[in-house]
Amino acid sequence: MRMLPFVLLLSIASPAARAQNAITPDRATALFNGRDLSNWNVDVPDADANPGIAPSFIVRDGLLVSLGDPRGHLISKGVYRDYRLEAEYRFPGKGGNCGILVHASRPRALYRMFPQSIEVQMDSGNAGDFWVIQEDIEVEDMKERRPRKPGQQYGGAESDARRILNLTDDSEKPLGEWNTMVIEARDRTITVWVNGDLVNRGFNASVDRGKVAVQAEGTEVEISRLEIGPLR
């Protein structure tokens, strides 16, 4: 899939565009159609200097595959608010890192890599953690679930305490088996379930709409279904 120039990605992800064009789904729609990546844009920073770089995201046997490297993001063309997002995913080999980013906007906003967003972690063993990326969200038990090092502030910048721990340690299935993740974005609240277990809920988010993104962050992950639909 052709990767858009970084300047164009900035223009289509502007806050003004995000505010004006947000879709509230009224029916379930497949973000991944099982055939190609036509609903998505790719942002891989290493491709700026090397346009012929190997792809980070492919379609294989009807699955959306994040190969893990080169690192970057697959970003939806649509902007969404007030929705239910369902994903079926697995780590086919070793465990490792990946994530689904919601309310994504400005690309490369953190470490010149991560788009401004709220990440719902898929990292094996930590599924359902939040990582805030130039945005923010609150949870109950902030001191316990959002540990800070001396001098750190709550926030989404590089030096801030950005990780918010999930509520469970045993909701994921063994490596190689399929997991179901459900993310509900309702106004400024985000709720996450993994395999039917409530694993996180945040409120007072700094943002209530944006694009959906999938990471390539070092480990191969297969996604068989990625569907967005109305809140229940």
Residue 35 lies in a domain: yes
Q: Is the peptide bond before 70 cis (omega within 30 degrees of 0)?
A: yes
223: in domain? yes
Mapped onto helix, strand or coil, the DSSP state of residue 101 is: strand
Pairwise CA distance, residues 29 & 66, whole Å = 21
pLDDT digit string, tens, across residues 162-218: 999 999 989 999 999 999 999 999 999 999 999 999 999 999 999 999 999 999 999
Torsion sign over Cα 221, 226, 231, 232? negative
Q: Is residue 10 part of a domain?
A: yes
- Residue 206: give its domain's CATH number: 2.60.120.560
Backbone angles phi, psi at 48, to 5 degrees: -60, -45
Q: Which two tokens stand for residue 95?
A: 């465990």
Distances (CA, A) of 76 to 96, 111, 131, 150: 23, 21, 19, 37
Query: How many domains does one find in the chain?
Result: 1
Find out whether 226 and 80 touch, Cβ atoms under 8 Å: no
Q: For the whole model, what pTM was predicted?
A: 0.92
CA–CA gap between residue 146 and residue 154 (Å, rounded): 8
| 109 inside domain | yes
pLDDT at 12: 46
126 located within any domain = yes
Is the Cβ–Cβ distance between 104 and 210 less than 8 Å? yes
Structural domain span for residue 181: 6-229
Question: Which tokens is 231 given?
Answer: 């809140």
182: nearest Cα among 123, 113, 228, 129: 228
Residue 1 falls inside a structural domain: no
Q: Does residue 82 lie within any of the structural domains?
A: yes
pLDDT, tens digit, for every residue of 104-153? 999 999 999 999 999 999 999 999 999 999 999 999 999 999 999 999 99
